[in-house]
């Protein structure tokens, strides 16, 4: 996975990026901005999910003794949480009452709920884009009994907020985030690898314990991913979002343009 045998150093920035590995599934259509970068700069761009989602079977979920119907509200922070909440309900033949309230971290997550429920008949509350935005909404509903469907790997922000503010809430692990099998990439080299979560960094070292960065540029989206890169002893070369580049592709393009000018 690493490129060459050179020691990690500033001189690697003079090496042209000709290949990028995006650690996400390949887009379903041809409108991906990564493909625009590929065409504009003559760069090979590959997509490969570094993490996979595995369902927690209902039989295993029952061992945690979480009674969904004891709760009056559900907090959703992702599409995966939505999918696996309703999967567990279906497997357990649990009929969610019409009075159940739903608190979604974003419009996108709320819109996705329409796959399972008719939104106009339910009580729906939406944050902005971040957990902090959702906190302001939750503060107005302290009397609810909240259920928080999540993965075995999740951020601490929501549980910490709920505990610190005396909310009645229950975490429910309904799916697991696991490392993908990347063994076929063992002999493949990329000039740049783009990461989007700390789990992606973990997957890299699960699959390649002896990974050496060498001349490979590392890109990270979001502060927690950036910190995971540093904690792993890697050099972070491209960090997104940036004031002048809110997307990963934008940040990568800024890097390409800046370092091509130095040659």
pTM for the full model?
0.79
Q: Are 126 and 107 in contact, with CB atoms under 8 Å apart?
A: yes
Where does residue 167 fall: left (phi above 0), alpha (psi -120 to 50 degrees), or beta otherwise? beta
DSSP string across 92-103: TT----TT-EEE
How many residues are given for the chain?
A: 263
Rounded to whole angstroms, the Cα distance separating 88 from 240 reads 35
Tokens of 244: 């002048």
pLDDT for res 102? 95
Rounded to whole angstroms, the Cα distance separating 148 from 110 reads 15
pLDDT for res 28? 83
Q: Residues 6 or more apart from 32 whose CB is under 8 A from it?
A: none
pLDDT for res 122? 66
Rounded to whole angstroms, the Cα distance separating 12 from 247 reads 23
List, run by run, the mean pLDDT of 10-residue segments along the chain (263 residues). Answer: 50 88 90 91 96 96 96 95 97 94 92 86 80 90 96 90 95 96 93 96 96 94 94 96 90 91 55
Q: Which CATH architecture has domain 12-50+180-254?
A: 3-Layer(aba) Sandwich (3.40)
pLDDT for res 103? 95
Helices and strands (H, E) in the chain, number of each type: 9, 11
Q: Where are the domains of the chain?
A: 12-50+180-254, 54-178
Rounded to whole angstroms, the Cα distance separating 97 from 95 reads 6
The fold of 54-178 is: Rossmann fold (3.40.50)
Q: What distance, in Å, lies between the first and last C-alpha atoms of the chain? A: 26
Any idea which residue has 């989206």 for tokens? 221
pLDDT for res 4? 42
3-state secondary structure (DSSP) of residue 26 = coil
Query: Of the candidates 168, 3, 10, 150, which has an alpha carbon nearest to the alpha carbon of residue 80?
Result: 150
Q: Are 195 and 229 in contact, with CB atoms under 8 Å apart?
A: yes
Are 12-50+180-254 and 54-178 in the same CATH fold? yes
Rounded to whole angstroms, the Cα distance separating 261 from 122 reads 55
pLDDT for res 1? 61
């Amino acid at each position: 996975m690493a490129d060459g045998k050179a020691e990690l150093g500033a001189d690697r920035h003079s090496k042209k990026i000709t290949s990028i590995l995006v650690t996400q599934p390949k887009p379903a259509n041809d409108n991906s901005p990564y493909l625009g970068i590929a065409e504009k700069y003559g760069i090979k761009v590959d997509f490969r999910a570094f993490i996979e989602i595995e369902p927690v079977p209902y039989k295993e979920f029952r061992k945690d003794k979480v009674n969904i119907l004891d709760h009056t509200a559900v907090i959703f922070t992702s599409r995966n949480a939505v999918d696996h909440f309703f999967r567990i309900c279906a497997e357990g033949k649990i009929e969610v009452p019409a009075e159940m309230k739903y608190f979604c971290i974003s419009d996108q997550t709320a819109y996705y709920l329409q796959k399972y429920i008719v939104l106009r008949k339910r009580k729906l509350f939406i944050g902005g884009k971040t957990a902090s935005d959702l906190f302001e909404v939750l503060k107005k509903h302290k009397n609810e009994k909240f259920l928080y469907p999540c993965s075995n790997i999740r951020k601490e922000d929501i549980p910490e907020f709920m505990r610190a503010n005396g909310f009645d809430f229950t975490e429910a692990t309904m799916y697991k985030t696991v490392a993908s099998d990347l063994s076929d990439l063992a002999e493949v080299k990329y000039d740049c690898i783009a990461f989007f979560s700390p789990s992606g960094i973990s997957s890299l070292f699960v699959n390649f314990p002896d990974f050496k960065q060498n001349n490979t540029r590392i890109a990270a989206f979001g502060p927690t991913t950036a910190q995971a890169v540093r904690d792993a002893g890697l050099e972070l070369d491209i960090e997104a979002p940036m004031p002048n580049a809110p997307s990963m592709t934008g940040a990568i393009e800024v890097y390409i343009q800046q370092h091509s000018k130095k040659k």
